[in-house]
Structure 1
């Protein structure tokens, strides 16, 4: 069966780690209520991809690359089935309080995203990293005191 043979060949390439895409850069992002994730270029892989492509030089405009934006939402800010059902004991006051009102949870970002760029090789990874830093506002280097 030619179809099964084609699938088997793709699996052989995959298991041998001969994959057509490699991750060339990644940035971790946190969003609060302002600015929100939904109002940023990181709200959609298509929007982020277009922003990256428009910053590529003219000779690289046709360079194939893929973008993935993985999201994580912290529970305290959700309004789903568990909203209003999580509490903690404030032992100093002897009261139960909603967990979302706890000071530690008030300061958490509403969502985290991981933006990743994939290309066929690493030839232009520094260019993609610089573009992602420009778009995200990332300084690119860690704080000097964070050893």
Structure 2
């Protein structure tokens, strides 16, 4: 990781794919010397670069946060399925099978997006810590 590549990726990386951050700052950790080197590169960013990166991570967090939509979505799905059951007299077993399948599919999609939120939150907190240290 170098400063130029870092700046490029912070501005241009796809918000759905934070592989660069996940690769450079893995969940499983890495040797202390490597982490320290990367931390120093982050510290070398100027305040405006840090602010832009923090705001980008905040936007990514907000756009992939499904907690507010999950309740509304589940009520809509439940209402639609109940309407289908009433209109077409579905067998209760089919109703349960369809409802479970839809919920599992949505849960899989939300889980995938949750990993993006976790990565963005981690990196944003790291950048905020660096920015606050620079302000002292």
TM-score by length of 1: 0.28
Compare the two structures and name the one with the higher strand fraction. Answer: 1
Tell me: higher relative CO, structure 1 or 2? Use CA pairs within 8 A at least 6 residues apart.
2
TM-score by length of 2: 0.30
